[in-house]
A and B are shown apart, each in its own frame.
Chain A
Amino acid sequence: MTVLSRSLRVAESEAIAYRRTWRGTVISSFINPILFLAAMGAGLGSLVDSGSGELAVPYLAFVATGLMAASGMQNGATDGSFPVMAGILWRKNFIGAISTPISPSDIIYGRFLWAMLRLTFVLVVFAVIAVLFGAMEIGPALLAVPPAVLTGLGFLTVITSWTVTQKDGLSLSTLFRFAIVPLFLFSGTFFPISQLPGFLQPVAYVTPLFHGVELVRKIALPGVDASVVTSIPMWIHFAYLLTMVAVGLYLSTRLLDKRLRP
């Protein structure tokens, strides 16, 4: 078997498990987008748009694109944390798999492939919901999917490599409380980075979700001006996220091997 076919077997096992557990992810994946779009986009948006009107696009389109990148982050971070710890400690499915021809790196690659599929599915649903809310046309909404998926994969891989070094599940909640939630709020999802105090803007530039949000907007809302996006070239966002994926994959395959085969 090649690495690819072994990874596909792992992805298949994830899919079989998902068939039994998808109900648990409905709220975070599908209900939350609707609630956020309704509250932030339609509710808050009517206030924003009737205000000074500094944004070049309707607030609903602004926040929908930001939320797609953020949803990629949320789903990627979730996939990279609790199920990974479960595979090692609670469900122990990783422990079982490595007694077969599957190796720790196959687990990492297989979960990556599966996450790519699941993220695509979740974000296409998000895009359709955004279209139904009137945030975007279907074309731009679907264009927003690949960069949002890439954002998710960046978080998945980097967080996986961190999770496999953790002793137990306690630190995982800390990660969400002190990293994911602040990123969600201050990466340009809900308001342009230019609104942050000057000294905080460089901080935003180095955080990962910022690059995801910017990339989604630059692809899905082409031609928007500096009121919506920064002048940073697209390839930098792209390179940033790809580097996350590459470094994340490199570290997580090695660290998982160390963890599972002491």
Chain B
Amino acid sequence: MTDTLVEARGLTKRFDDLTAVDGIDFDIHQGEAFGFLGPNGAGKTSTMKMITTVSPITEGKLTVFGLDPTTQGRSIRQRIGVVPQEDNLDLELTVSENLYIYGRYHDMSRAEINPRITELLEFAQLSDRRDSTVEPLSGGMKRRLTIARALINDPDLIILDEPTTGLDPQARHLLWDRLYRLKRDGATLIITTHYMDEAEQLCDRLVVMDQGKIVAEGSPRELIEQYAPREVLELRFDDEQRDDAVIKMDGVAARSEVLADRVLLYTDDADDTQRALHDRGVHPEQVLVRRSTLEDVFLRLTGRRLID
């Protein structure tokens, strides 16, 4: 298929005795936002590093733009933009110098770079910071600058590794808004995240990774429909009542998860389930009804939570 930008078959990465990525298959198409969802250590970053050609693959097949990362890494890197997990901006340099250096690395001339910087700073809402040093910028501003830097070469593929980790909610929403704009303008995005809301907000399609393997694949909606009933009842109990309640609740919902601080009941109709609980004499301290999310999918697939 001509519109497949990244293709992986049996992709594997081993470090000595640790298998970070364990034979995964995926295709990423032109114009989509593709997510890798999973907890820390699932192998997402190792996968990104292989795609961006900064980590050699151990086994399997990987092509990016139909090119081989082992022998054609430079041609691949010319056409991608990378937003790494940890900011690696030059703090002592100015905002525009940071962009300028990357433009030069991408073989752009000064005449090409300067208008591009103006454009990108506008996009990143940093126009008034053009000549200030990076050091005093807020975390959100630094992230936006890192994204602007990744866009300097007008990449065909943008790779964002945990783009909003460590940002406050307001900065996250601002960043998501910028990423939406990229999507709307037709960019192809690869996003890794351990935030399910981020994956739901941004990704057209995603894979769920755990311990180096892909455990599920689909759109956020499909995954939720497939792996989690529509609604979730979150129940909190007194410590004494909890064990008793758990026994009484057996079978009341399609599925249940007993977590340290609460019990989750998965159901297609929360009202029905609540009535059933009442009939069985279960009286939780607190009840919260919500829609199923990718977090529930992950819990279902791995038996663990995304963020501990």
Is B82 a contact of A12 with CB atoms below 8 Å?
no
Is B52 a contact of A16 with CB atoms below 8 Å?
no
Stretch from A29-37, A100-108, A119-127 forming part of the interface with B = A100-108
Task: Say whether B258 faces chain A, with CB atoms less than 8 Å apart.
Answer: no
Contacts of B107 in A (CB 8 A): 1, 5, 9, 101
Contacts of A102 in B (CB 8 A): 105
Contact of A92 among B54, B82, B86, B133 (CB under 8 A): B86
Contacts of A197 in B (CB 8 A): none
* Alpha-carbon separation in the docked complex, A84 to B133 (Å): 22
Is A95 a contact of B105 with CB atoms below 8 Å?
no
Contact of A101 among B55, B78, B100 (CB under 8 A): B78
Task: Say whether A28 faces chain B, with CB atoms less than 8 Å apart.
Answer: no
Is B92 a contact of A12 with CB atoms below 8 Å?
no
Task: Flag B103-117 by CB within 8 Å of A: 1 or 0 each.
Answer: 011110000000000
Contacts of A20 in B (CB 8 A): 92-93, 133
* Alpha-carbon separation in the docked complex, A15 to B82 (Å): 24
Task: Say whether B284 faces chain A, with CB atoms less than 8 Å apart.
Answer: no
Number of interface residues of A (CB under 8 A): 25
Contacts of A95 in B (CB 8 A): 84, 88
Is A99 a contact of B77 with CB atoms below 8 Å?
yes
Number of interface residues of B (CB under 8 A): 29
Smallest Cβ-Cβ distance to B149: which chain A residue: A96
* Alpha-carbon separation in the docked complex, A101 to B84 (Å): 16
* Alpha-carbon separation in the docked complex, A97 to B102 (Å): 8
Task: Say whether A25 faces chain B, with CB atoms less than 8 Å apart.
Answer: no
* Alpha-carbon separation in the docked complex, A3 to B85 (Å): 28
CB contacts under 8 Å to B, within A8-43, are 9, 12-13, 16-17, 20-21
Contacts of B73 in A (CB 8 A): 103
Task: Say whether A254 faces chain B, with CB atoms less than 8 Å apart.
Answer: no
CB contacts under 8 Å to B, within A74-115, are 91-93, 95-103
Smallest Cβ-Cβ distance to A12: which chain B residue: B104
A9-B105, A91-B91, A261-B56 are known; give 18 further A-B pairs, CB within 8 A. A5-B107, A9-B107, A16-B93, A17-B92, A20-B92, A21-B92, A91-B88, A95-B88, A96-B84, A96-B89, A99-B52, A99-B77, A100-B77, A101-B105, A101-B106, A103-B74, A260-B54, A262-B15
6 nearest A-B pairs in the assembled complex, by CB-CB distance: A92-B88, A100-B105, A99-B82, A96-B88, A13-B101, A9-B104
Question: Can you give 28 A-B contacts (C-beta < 8 A)?
Answer: A5-B107, A6-B105, A9-B104, A9-B105, A13-B101, A13-B105, A16-B100, A17-B90, A17-B92, A17-B93, A20-B92, A21-B92, A91-B88, A91-B90, A92-B88, A93-B88, A95-B88, A96-B84, A96-B88, A97-B105, A98-B54, A99-B52, A100-B102, A103-B73, A103-B74, A260-B54, A261-B54, A261-B55
By a beta-carbon cutoff of 8 Å, the part of chain A in contact with chain B is: 1, 5-6, 9, 12-13, 16-17, 20-21, 91-93, 95-103, 260-262
